[in-house]
Chain A
Amino acid sequence: MKQSWFEDQGEALWREHEALLGALERGGRHPRSAELPQEHARICSMLALARERRYTLGLIDRLEDLALRGQRVIYAGRADPEPLLKGLLARFPQAVRATWALHALAFVLFVGPWLFGMALVANRPDLATMVVDPSTLTRMESMYDPSGEVQAGARTITEDFSRFGYYIWNNVGIALRTFGAGAGLGVGSGLILVYNGLVLGAVSGHLTAVGLGHTFWPFVIGHGSFELTAIVIAGAAGLKLGWGLVAPGRRGRAAALREGAREALPLILGAGGMLVVAAGIEAFWSPSRLIEDEVKLAVGGVLWILVLGYLTLGGRARDAR
């Protein structure tokens, strides 16, 4: 069949199909929506014919454009049928348990350097400055000094709110970075975990050594339940990414990375949510002077039990299905 005849026959359909696609792409409705799949199939077979018969490239391009736009409209979301946040409260702890070994590894990478830092500083207080610079240590000391500005000075709700914003920006940012860096063979996540563990160990060890532990520990126990757990989870999610590249098993490395990322996504979303909660506690509850230290310690303990209980028991009913 000659090309000009083919064009004469197809022109009306192509124009109509283009109008239909245009309407659907803009998210609107079209009276002929129901005919889309049928028309798309016809366009595709016409494209195949046009190629087979070596019609001009301009015509092939036009048909290919129509076919590609049709493909986009018809198969949109095929790769991702489930809504992102659906059932996340149950899927999050399930995902944590499914990757428990990586969580154990992340825990060791984080808590190990922490304990090491604390032990080191307890024996040799001067070594704290190897990890944290002296000005930070001095600032920390003044922060937890019972008679200092932060602990005894007047606090306003706006200051608390500024701090809330800072914790969101800084802490959630660190967690997301810990996760993202994991795609570098997991090394990035591991380094961030070790470094943060070491810094926290040195700071907490130093504050305890200089006798400020009684203001420090009641302050951190509350938000620590959410924050420290979430950091370990974000680290494990990052290691999950890296593990796919290091040991892809029977898949290609790209496929392994892709699968790992899919499984790690609920982890990082959950960890991010936990850190937002932690930021709220750290900004409004932990520094409050209206609450006795004993109450903070007790509530902090309850929060730890709740968080760990949620992660070990949450979503079990759905597991069984």
Chain B
Amino acid sequence: MAAALDTRREIETPEGVVLSERVAGPLPRALAWCVDLLARTLLYLVLATGLQIIGAFAGGFMLILLFVLEWGYGVAFELTLNGRTPGKLVLGLQTVMDDGTPVTPRASILRNLLRVADFLPLGFLVGLLSALVDPHGRRLGDLAAGTLVVYRRAAAAERRPLPPGPVTPPPVPLRPDEQQALVDLAQRGPGLSIDRQVELAELVGQGWGLSGKAALDRVTAVARYLRGDTPGGES
């Protein structure tokens, strides 16, 4: 619907419905990378200090640890934490396959190895260009692995009934999208200040010759009608 405006990636499922993911842009991803760099450094310092107990062999193990953290950090977290590294966790991001399914081992290894190419020639310039050009904000590693970095969906709201009250049919016939906008407005009401609610309701009420609190009451009443609420309250 609003694919051209929003950073949405639409996925058609085998069941024949279209689902959408909100793709993350370069900035939150860069921030997540910074958090990861910090986390990785801390992890190394803690583990390397711990390694000192084993004595003379510690030196060799520290280098192996450095190698493992440098190359395995992203893969290990993405595969165990459902596509999230600590940085992505903090920023509310998640790596998924481009069909919306969880990231696979092959894809995770590829996208993390190809970070080298995205870093070229300096400071992720290639990756930034790729993410700016690609409609879904993918860097080269994502393109090669077939992955997306998306925002984790907030837990979906539970059912939000309208407060009970009068039920009135709309004074003029409304198109389906107008009906949807009207009910959305009424349902979002409790999250807004009363002044803003009245202001928005007046935009609708103008056409019906209403203003002020009367417009808001009428809009809510029409929304109840459109939702199919009964006068006694939420059915």
Q: How far is the CB of B222 from chain A (nearest CB, A)?
A: 13
Known A-B contacts A11-B159, A257-B143; the reply to A176 vs B113 at CB < 8 A is yes
Main secondary structure of the interface of B (DSSP, over half): helix
**Is residue A268 within 8 Å, beta carbon to beta carbon, of the partner chain?**
yes
A57 near B180 (CB under 8 angstroms)? yes
Chain A contacts to B: CB under 8 angstroms? 1-5, 7-8, 11, 40-41, 44-45, 47-48, 53-59, 61-62, 64-68, 71-72, 75-80, 84, 156, 158, 161-166, 168-169, 172-173, 176-177, 179-184, 188, 241, 254, 257-258, 260-262, 265, 268-269
Known A-B contacts A65-B156, A78-B99; the reply to A169 vs B64 at CB < 8 A is yes
Complex: chain A residue closest to B1, CB-CB: A51
Query: Which of A8, A158, A257 is in CB contact (< 8 Å) with B59?
Result: A158
Known A-B contacts A56-B184, A64-B19, A258-B143; the reply to A176 vs B235 at CB < 8 A is no
A165 near B59 (CB under 8 angstroms)? yes
| Total B residues in contact with A, Cβ cutoff 8 Å | 68
- List of A residues within 8 angstroms of B234 by Cβ: 4
**Is residue B41 within 8 Å, beta carbon to beta carbon, of the partner chain?**
no
Contact with A along B122-144 (1 / 0, CB 8 A): 00001000000000000011011
Q: How far is the CB of A92 from chain B (nearest CB, A)?
A: 15
Main secondary structure of the interface of A (DSSP, over half): helix
Q: How far is the CB of A54 from chain B (nearest CB, A)?
A: 4
B117 near A41 (CB under 8 angstroms)? no
B145 near A188 (CB under 8 angstroms)? no
Query: Which of A47, A65, A268 is in CB contact (< 8 Å) with B17?
Result: A47
Bound-complex Cα distance A298 to B225 (A): 91
B59 near A162 (CB under 8 angstroms)? yes
Bound-complex Cα distance A186 to B104 (A): 25
A261 near B101 (CB under 8 angstroms)? no
A265 near B109 (CB under 8 angstroms)? yes
B226 near A72 (CB under 8 angstroms)? no
Known A-B contacts A177-B116, A265-B109; the reply to A183 vs B140 at CB < 8 A is yes
B105 near A183 (CB under 8 angstroms)? no
A71 near B100 (CB under 8 angstroms)? yes
Complex: chain A residue closest to B159, CB-CB: A7
CB-defined A-B contacts under 8 Å, sample of 24: A2-B226, A2-B227, A3-B183, A4-B228, A7-B159, A53-B176, A57-B184, A64-B20, A65-B156, A68-B21, A71-B11, A78-B99, A79-B99, A79-B104, A80-B107, A169-B64, A169-B66, A180-B114, A180-B116, A183-B114, A183-B116, A188-B116, A188-B117, A261-B110
